[in-house]
């Protein structure tokens, strides 16, 4: 028993001595060389040198060194980590969906994950963080975190080229590693929604103000200079009526939009035959088409195409689309309306295409025409009694019906609006 | 060391211009006052960089790259300080423009112009940070865009003033704001040239873009 313990202790001591000698091998060799050189040059005896060597080796074996303890601790920590052992920090950084950048005490970038690279290009390794992120509050944050103050969070806004808002947090990595991590959380979306709401109110009041200003101007004239002018009065009253009609239309559109927004997810389960519905909408708009010098060119299948949905809302969709085609496609002399059953997506859909042959829409406007009050050309829209809300309403109703709207257009060749609705 | 201070100055300059234009668009007098007060930071920054650079040259006698770096830093800091002054000047005019609200389209135009100038400033400072001068040609394209935009805004404001003399005082202020923003773009171009010089040791190829054409704009009354 005692022998066994002694043997074990002996083995451990031997292992320790080996390790100490191994880790000190370079200084030892240097010492040996130095002692030999001194011995030869000074003409001393050889055994003096050997004795000196022996002492140096003994000291190297006996003197404990801190490095060993630290190594042992590290290996213990790793074995505790278990499954995490094989994982590298790079894998971890890559798994973070938000931009994450590791930098050192000088502020040099050590690692930036993929999200950071795509958000903040160019960001080469070694470039200084302070130079890249120059906003005063970020500079302060970097300064604080490098001085070891508690981790703080600041908001950081980039205005150009695209407006982006981040909530930025910085913290040291581990203890005394000299590395720091900074994480950017994207807040742009919520900021954009807030902005859109504010813009909407501003736009809506602006839209209402214009006709109101013209009406009040005419009232002033009617009470003043034109008080007894029979002909002017009739003329002015006509204009005032047009303006009030425009305001009424705008308010109607605003109301139907807000109604739709109140319950965006409620699905209506009625059954609607698109052939019959689109046909009747086209018939009801025939007078308008004639007025604009257009004919509807209908290509309908001879059987019913049924979708589920709210009849009134779908009527509004096709009314808006056909009205737009009449307003902006006047130069094309005809408007094609076609209903098809397609399998473009994963399920069978009904596709209703309204194609006009007017001036078309420039590419840069296409993604935005369904925004509220977005107009490609304000003057044309006004003269055509547009409210700037038609396509916004269409898009809303289609979203409710699980449908979608695609717009294809080339300048000078007209525009095609296609409504896709899931078949019943 | 100097680079860090340049970055801090750049951040301040960008922020000042951004806030000055925001103050102008939203008629925010308080924000404008803040911008005016912030200019001290840039003045102080420039003095500090000048001092340090002179001390460095005197004590260490830097050569080649290092000397270019130091001289370039002095020039960039001077440009940034000017950018700050221009931002401050815009902020000062906010008070004058606030009383007479001008049509929103001028503010939209100024905003678009300032976005172009700020983008340019940001990209140039990013190039300074990353030292990647390959794509520095964009600066010139952008400068042309800014000049075109400025010329169109100039014409529009002029026409508006001809329509009604009561607009003249506030429109003149807006005109100067536009001019200031256009100058900020020019300073950004200067910085780009300095950065190119620091990194490559050569002057940027000469083919400076055409200047704005506003000096030729005449609106017939």
Output the furthest CA–CA distance in chain A (Å, rounded).
Answer: 137
Looking at the domain assignment, is residue A310 inside a domain?
A: yes
Distances (CA, A) of A305 to A175, A235, A344, A417, B62: 68, 48, 16, 19, 82
Nearest-Cα distance to chain A for B154, in Å, is 22
Q: Which range (A38-47, A145-154, A317-326) has the least confidence?
A: A38-47
Q: DSSP character for A303? A: S
Pairing verdict, β A295-299 and A179-186: unpaired
Instruction: Examine the domain organization and report whether A20 and A67 are in the same domain.
Output: yes
A333: left (phi over 0), alpha (psi -120 to 50) or beta: left
Q: Has residue A136 been placed in a domain?
A: yes
CA distance A134 to chain B (A): 4
Residue A201, in any domain of the structure: no
CA-closest candidate to residue A162, choices A188, A190, A124, A199 = A188
Residues of A in contact with B118 (CB under 8 A): 159-160
Given a cut of 60, is residue A72 above it in pLDDT? no
Chain B residues touching residue A364 (CB < 8 angstroms): none
Separation CA A127–CA B207 (nearest Å): 30
Query: Is there a single domain that holds both residue A401 and residue A275?
Result: yes
Same domain (yes/no): A289, A364: yes
pLDDT per residue as tens digits for the range A198-235: 777 777 787 788 788 888 988 888 888 888 888 888 88
- What SS3 class is residue A227? coil
Distance from CA of A319 to the nearest CA of B (A): 32
Q: Which domain range does residue A176 map to?
A: 94-186
- A311 inside domain: yes
Q: Are residues A139 and A251 in the same domain?
A: no
Domain CATH code at residue A238: 1.10.287.130
Question: Which 3 state secondary structure label does DSSP give A186?
Answer: strand
Look at residue B19 and tell me whether its pLDDT is greater than 80. Answer: yes
Domain co-membership, A280 together with A338:
yes
Domain count, chain A: 4
- A332 lies in a domain? yes
Q: Which residues of B touch A138 (CB under 8 A)?
A: 11
R_g (Cα) of chain A, nearest Å: 40
Across chain A, mean pLDDT equals: 79
Query: Which CATH number characterizes residue A134's domain?
Result: 3.30.450.20
**Helix boundaries (H) for A24-135:** 25-42, 46-62, 66-81, 89-95, 114-120, 129-132
Does some domain include residue A178?
yes
What domains does chain B contain, in order, with CATH numbers? 2-216 (1.20.58.220)
Instruction: Tell whether the model's pLDDT for residue A31 goes beyond 90.
Output: no
CATH number at A400 reads: 3.30.565.10
Task: Answer whether A127 sits within 8 Å of B126, measured CB to CB.
Answer: no
Q: Which tokens hold the place of B15? A: 């922020």
Q: What is the pTM of this model?
A: 0.57
A317 neighbors A271 (Cβ within 8 angstroms):
no
Q: How confident is the model at residue A345 (pLDDT cuts 50, 70, 90)?
A: low
Burial A297-336 (b: 16+ CB within 10 A, else e): eeebeeeebbbbbbeebbbbbbbbbbbbbbbbbbebebbb
Chain A contact present for B12, CB below 8 A: yes
Output the six-digit token pair for A219: 């009232």
**What is the residue-wise DSSP string for A306-353?**
EEES-HHHHHHHHHHHHHHHHHH-GGGSEEEEEEEEE-SSSS-EEEEE
Name the residue among A133, A138, A160 with its Cβ closest to that of B118: A160
Same-domain check for residues A250 and A361: no
A251 with A338, same domain?
no
Asked if the C-beta of B11 comes within 8 angstroms of chain A's C-beta atoms, the answer is yes
Is the per-residue pLDDT at B176 higher than 90? yes
Give yes or no for residue A74 having a pLDDT over 60: no
Put simply, the answer to whether A127 touches B129 (Cβ < 8 Å) is: yes
Distance CA(A307)–CA(A347), nearest Å, equals 13
Vertex B96: Cα angle to B98 and B82 (nearest 5): 115
Name which of A129-138, B180-189, B203-212 the model is least confident about.
Answer: B203-212
What residues of chain B lie within 8 A of the CB of A123, using their CB?
130
**Exposure b/e, B143-165, CB count within 10 A at least 16 = b:** bebbbebbbbbbebbbebbeeee
Q: Do A317 and A258 share a structural domain? A: no
| CB proximity B57 to A under 8 Å | no
Q: What's the confidence (pLDDT) of residue B208? A: 55
Q: State the best of A107, A123, A159 to mutate against chain B, taking most chain B CBs within 10 Å.
A: A159
Smallest Cα distance from A335 to chain B, Å: 35
Burial tier of A40 (Cβ tally within 10 Å: 0-12, 13-18, 19+): exposed
pLDDT at A49 over 80: no
Where is the domain boundary, A83, A102, A121?
Answer: A83
**In a domain? residue A316:** yes
DSSP A149: P
* Interatomic CA distance for residues B127 and B135, integer angstroms: 9
- Higher per-residue confidence, A319 vs A364: A319
The interface residues of chain A toward chain B in range 153-192, judged by CB-CB distance below 8 A, are: 158-161
Closest residue by Cα to residue B108 from B66, B153, B146: B153
Q: For helices B104-130 and B2-26, what crossing angle results, to 10°?
A: 170
Predicted pLDDT of residue B182: 92
Query: Which is higher by pLDDT, B116 or A162?
Result: B116
Q: Model confidence at A76, in pLDDT bands (50, 70, 90)?
A: very low
Residue A247 confidence (pLDDT): 87
pLDDT greater than 80 at residue A376 = no
Residues A418 and A310 in one domain: yes
Q: How far is A93 from chain B (nearest CA, A)?
A: 22
A191 found inside a domain? no
* Residue A37: band (very low, low, confident or very high) from pLDDT cuts 50, 70, 90: confident
Question: In this structure, is the dihedral angle defined by the CA atoms of residues B10, B16, B17 and B22, taken in order, positive or negative?
Answer: positive
Give yes or no: residues A150 and A212 share one domain: no
- Among B39, B129, B133, B195, most A C-beta atoms within 10 A, so best to mutate, is B129
Please tell me the predicted confidence (pLDDT) of residue A43.
66
**What's the pLDDT score for residue A152?**
74
Provide the pLDDT for residue A278: 92
The tokens describing B129, both together, are 């940070």
pLDDT of residue A266: 57
Res. A262 pLDDT band, cuts 50 70 90: low
- Domain end (from A240, A262, A284): A262
User: For the segment A113-139, what is each residue's pLDDT rounded down to a tens digit?
Assistant: 888 888 777 777 777 787 788 888 888
- Do A407 and A286 reside in the same domain of the chain? yes
Q: What is the pLDDT of residue A268?
A: 62
Q: Which of A86-90, A334-338, B63-67, B108-112 has the lowest mean pLDDT?
A: A86-90
pLDDT at position A1, please? 47
Stretch A367-383: mean pLDDT: 73
Domain end point (choices A262, A283, A306): A262
User: Lowest-confidence range among A193-197, A253-257, B24-28?
Assistant: A193-197
- Burial class for A148, CB neighbours closer than 10 Å (0-12, 13-18, 19+): exposed
pLDDT per residue as tens digits for the range B68-120:
888 999 999 999 999 999 999 999 998 888 776 667 667 878 888 888 899 88
Q: What pLDDT, on a 0 to 100 scale, did the predictor assign at position B220?
A: 57
Closest partner CB to A135 (pick from B4, B11, B132) = B11
* Top-confidence residue, A389 or A12: A389
| Residue B181: predicted pLDDT | 93
pLDDT of residue A8: 63
Q: Is B90 on the interface with A (CB under 8 A)?
A: no
Residues A311 and A182 in one domain: no
CB pair distance less than 8 Å for A139 and B15: no
Q: Which residue among B8, B10, B122 sits closest to A160, beta carbon to beta carbon?
A: B122
The pLDDT score that the predictor gives to residue B82 is 93
What's the pLDDT at A83? 63
Residues 6+ apart with CB under 8 A from B131: A124, A127, B199
B3 touches chain A (CB under 8 A): yes
Question: Is the distance from CB of B17 to CB of B118 less than 8 angstroms?
Answer: yes
Residue A354's pLDDT is what? 93
Work out the pLDDT band at A25, boundaries 50, 70, 90: confident
Contact by Cβ (8 Å): B182, B150: yes
pLDDT, tens digit (0-9, with 9 covering 90-100), for B151-172: 888 888 888 888 888 888 888 9
| Mean pLDDT computed over A190-202 | 74
User: Cβ distance B184 to B121 under 8 Å?
Assistant: yes
């Amino acid at each position: 028993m005692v022998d066994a313990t002694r043997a074990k202790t002996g083995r451990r001591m031997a292992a320790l001595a080996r390790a100490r000698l191994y880790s000190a091998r370079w200084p030892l060799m240097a010492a040996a060389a130095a002692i030999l050189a001194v011995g030869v040059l000074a003409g001393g005896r050889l055994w003096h040198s050997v004795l000196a060597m022996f002492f140096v080796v003994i000291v190297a074996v006996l003197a404990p060194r801190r490095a060993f303890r630290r190594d042992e601790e590290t290996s213990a920590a790793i074995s505790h980590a278990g499954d995490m052992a094989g994982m590298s920090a790079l894998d971890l950084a890559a798994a973070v969906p938000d931009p994450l950048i590791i930098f050192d005490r000088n502020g040099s970038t050590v690692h930036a994950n993929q999200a950071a690279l795509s958000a903040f290009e160019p960001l080469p390794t070694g470039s200084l963080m302070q130079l890249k992120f120059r906003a005063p509050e970020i500079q302060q944050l970097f300064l604080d975190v490098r001085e070891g103050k508690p981790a703080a969070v600041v908001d950081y806004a980039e205005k150009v080229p695209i407006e982006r808002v981040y909530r930025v947090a910085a913290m040291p990595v581990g203890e005394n590693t000299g590395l720091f991590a900074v994480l950017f959380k994207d807040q742009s979306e919520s900021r954009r929604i807030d902005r859109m709401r504010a813009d909407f109110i501003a736009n809506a009041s602006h839209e209402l103000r214009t006709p109101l200003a013209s009406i009040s101007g005419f009232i002033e004239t009617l009470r003043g200079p034109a008080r007894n002018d029979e002909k002017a009065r009739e003329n002015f009253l006509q204009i005032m009526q047009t303006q009030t009609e425009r305001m009424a239309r705008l308010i109607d559109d605003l109301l139907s939009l807000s109604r739709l927004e109140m319950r965006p997810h409620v699905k209506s389960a009625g059954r609607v035959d698109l052939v019959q519905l689109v046909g009747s909408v086209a018939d009801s708009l025939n007078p308008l088409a004639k007025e604009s010098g257009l004919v509807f060119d209908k290509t309908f299948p001879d059987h019913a195409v049924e979708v589920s949905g709210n009849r009134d809302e779908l009527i509004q969709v096709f009314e808006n689309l056909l009205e737009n085609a009449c307003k902006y496609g006047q130069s094309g002399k005809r408007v094609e309306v076609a209903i098809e059953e397609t399998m473009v997506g994963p399920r069978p859909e009904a596709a209703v295409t309204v194609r006009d042959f007017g001036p078309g829409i420039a590419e840069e406007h296409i993604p935005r025409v369904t925004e509220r009050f977005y107009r490609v050309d304000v003057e044309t829209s006004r003269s055509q009694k547009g409210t700037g809300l038609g396509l916004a309403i269409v898009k809303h109703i289609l979203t409710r019906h699980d449908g979608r709207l695609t717009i294809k257009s080339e300048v000078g060749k007209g525009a095609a609006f296609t409504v896709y609705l899931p078949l019943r | 060391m100097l680079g860090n201070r340049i970055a801090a100055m750049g951040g301040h300059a960008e922020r000042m211009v951004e806030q000055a234009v925001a103050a102008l668009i939203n008629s925010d007098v308080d924000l404008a006052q803040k911008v005016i007060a912030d200019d001290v930071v840039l003045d102080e920054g420039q003095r500090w960089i000048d001092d340090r650079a002179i001390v460095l040259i005197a004590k260490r006698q830097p050569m080649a790259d290092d000397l270019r770096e130091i001289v370039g830093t002095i020039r960039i800091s001077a440009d940034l300080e000017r950018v700050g002054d221009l931002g401050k000047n815009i902020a000062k005019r906010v008070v004058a423009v606030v009383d007479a609200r001008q049509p929103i389209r001028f503010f939209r135009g100024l905003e678009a112009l300032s976005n172009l100038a700020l983008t340019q400033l940001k990209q140039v400072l990013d190039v300074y940070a990353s030292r990647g001068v390959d794509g520095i040609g964009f600066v010139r394209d952008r400068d042309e865009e800014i000049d075109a935009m400025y010329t169109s805004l100039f014409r529009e404001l002029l026409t508006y003033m001809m329509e009604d003399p009561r607009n003249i005082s506030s429109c003149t202020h807006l005109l100067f704001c536009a001019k200031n923003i256009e100058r900020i773009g020019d300073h950004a171009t200067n910085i780009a040239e300095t950065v190119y010089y620091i990194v490559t040791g050569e002057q940027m190829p000469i083919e400076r873009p055409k200047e704005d054409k506003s000096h030729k704009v005449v609106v017939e009354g």
